[in-house]
Amino acid sequence: MKIMVIGSSGQLGADIVEALPRAGFQALPVTGRQELDITNTVAFASFLDQQRPDAVINTAAFHNVDLCEREFDSAYRVNTIAVRGLAVECQKRGILLFQIGTDYVMDGPVDSKPLPETAPVHPKSIYALTRFGGDCMTLTHAPAVGYVVRTCGLFGMAGCKLKGGLNFVDTMITVARAGKPMRVVADQIVAPTPTDELAQQLILMIQRRPGPGLYHAVSHGQCSWHEFACAALTLAGIDHPIAPVSSGEFAAPAHRPGYSVLDNAVLRHAGIDIMTDWRTGLQRYIGKKYPPKR
């Protein structure tokens, strides 16, 4: 099978492209807009006809949460309208479509339990609203081939372009090593998820074909961003204080969910949930990228 990966230079995309050949699949990486502008449905359809992939994994999105509040037209065009085009064209050709979604569409009270796929959504930012639009477009316009896979707090070796090639873990370690004061929010509860593990989960879904629809795929367990940061420094062997603060102290333009821990209920019921505890993924990541000095 040939698997097209849109956004192949990003954290998740890079790990998917690396893992596909090991699973016996051919990877068709699509790095960015210069290679393929997904907002151009005609160009996307032509690309499908030329390359003839068996499945498409879309990791691309307008990810800058705060910028979405100002550039809402662009956010809507990329996160919602473009996804409609992907869904329509994949449905026409019988090509599997895996649309990567976000936990930001959920927002429960801090004392919540992990939220299954049946939980109501509460998008409270332009980013969350437009990403939820992408979920809806996939499920509506690709009913026979469309998979929406929501995830949370990704961190991977490729890093995040928006953060200068760093992800949250990298940023915490870099700042701590520089000896700078650190403040991290303690009132946002998440399930940080390593991209190498999510890549394996997506590949298993392609292999097993559990059926189109909505899936959650995150690490097990939960923590605040402050707890996550402290765990990262501990595993990296760095002794540096991190002050816990509230979300309000940062006064970010876009709302962040207070509780967006997802429950992999559908994967679990299908018997294919291979995600592990967030601490396991973090330990593996730290050991690989920040091994102890000899």
Enzyme catalytic residues: 127
Kindly provide the b/e burial profile for residues 182-213, where b requires at least 16 CB atoms within 10 angstroms of the residue's own CB.
bebbbbbbbbbbbbbbbbbbbbbbbeeebebe
Written as one string, the DSSP assignment of 238-287 is -----EEE-GGGT--SS---SB--B--HHHHHHT-----BHHHHHHHHHH
Nearest Cα neighbor of 108 from 122, 126, 125 is: 122
Residue 4 is inside which H or E element, if any?
strand 2-6
Cβ atoms 194, 285 nearer than 8 A: yes
| Token representation of residue 256 | 């962040």
